[in-house]
Amino acid sequence: MKANAVTIVDIDQAFRQLEFAIKLLCHCELDHLDRSTFDTDVTLLLETENVGFPNGSFKTLESVVMASQIQVGMAFGVSAIVLDAAYETAGVRKNLHSRLAADDLRVFVYIVRCAFAHNVAAPRWQIRGQDFARTFLLPLEDAVLPIDLKVRDGECFEYEHIGGFAQWFKVKNAVIQAIDGAT
């Protein structure tokens, strides 16, 4: 039986949002956003009440870039939460004592999810115990990616810690294959 189609749609949508946030960040960093038309007064006329946003919040390049960086972090965190939820939906449990590559991938996704789930605005690694404070061997496409988390406990999460965005998209593909085989 193949992975739940809804689960795959959720994963694809989460990673589409991450892709959008990364592209938006690149666009903003290159100063391609027309702040004069973007940073204007906006009022949403809603059914029960209105909400307005005055101009001035995004008038500088720095403010636009910072907001874009935060969007990337939030989208990344959501992608980790969705991958972990996909494992849960597929009934794939965390086997903390196993060192098989498939189990390493499962536990690693959970650890990344935890870094963001406790504070998406300032994610931190929570690496406690020998089952987490170790090197994970992730089966990604045609290679195994070692990720050393032995000394990360309490550190701010950095994308470079996991090999960058390209590796995270490979993690997505590996998770889809793993849950596809589990259901």
Report the Cα 93 to chain-centroid distance in Å.
Answer: 20
Residue type, 118: H
Residue type, 36: S
The boundaries of the domain holding residue 110 are 5-182
Spatial neighbors of 8 by CB under 8 A, at least 6 apart, are: 176
SS3 per-residue string spanning the chain: CCCCHHHHHHHHHHHHHHHHHHHHHHHHHCCCCCHHHHCCCEEEECCCCEEEECCCCCCCHHHHHHHHHHHHHHHHHHHHHHHHHHHHHHCCCCCCCCCCHHHHHHHHHHHHHHHHHCCCCCCECCCCCCCCCCEEEEEECCEEEEEECCCCCCCECCHHHHCCHHHHHHHHHHHHHHHHHHC
pLDDT at 118: 84
- High-pLDDT (> 90) share of the chain, %: 88
State how far the Cα of 31 lies from the Cα of 100, in Å rounded to an integer.
Answer: 45
Read off the pLDDT of each residue in 164-168 and give the average, rounded to a whole number: 97
Do 125 and 134 form a contact (C-beta atoms < 8 A)?
A: no
pLDDT at 53: 95
Report the number of distinct structural domains present in the chain: 1
Q: pLDDT by residue (tens digit) across 31-78?
A: 999 999 999 999 999 999 999 999 999 999 999 999 999 999 999 999
State how far the Cα of 66 lies from the Cα of 26, in Å rounded to an integer.
Answer: 12
Identify the band that residue 159 occupies on the pLDDT scale cut at 50, 70 and 90: very high
Assess whether pLDDT exceeds 60 at residue 1.
no
Please indicate whether residue 44 or residue 180 has the higher confidence score (pLDDT). 44
Q: Phi, psi (5° rounding) for residue 57?
A: -75, -25
Identify the band that residue 5 occupies on the pLDDT scale cut at 50, 70 and 90: confident
Identify the band that residue 3 occupies on the pLDDT scale cut at 50, 70 and 90: low
Assess whether pLDDT exceeds 90 at residue 6.
no
Q: What is the pTM of this model?
A: 0.92
pLDDT at 183: 62
Token code pair at residue 127: 């690496």
Q: Phi, psi (5° rounding) for residue 95?
A: -105, 90
Q: pLDDT by residue (tens digit) across 82-128?
A: 999 999 999 999 999 999 999 999 999 999 999 998 888 899 999 98
Assess whether pLDDT exceeds 90 at residue 4.
no
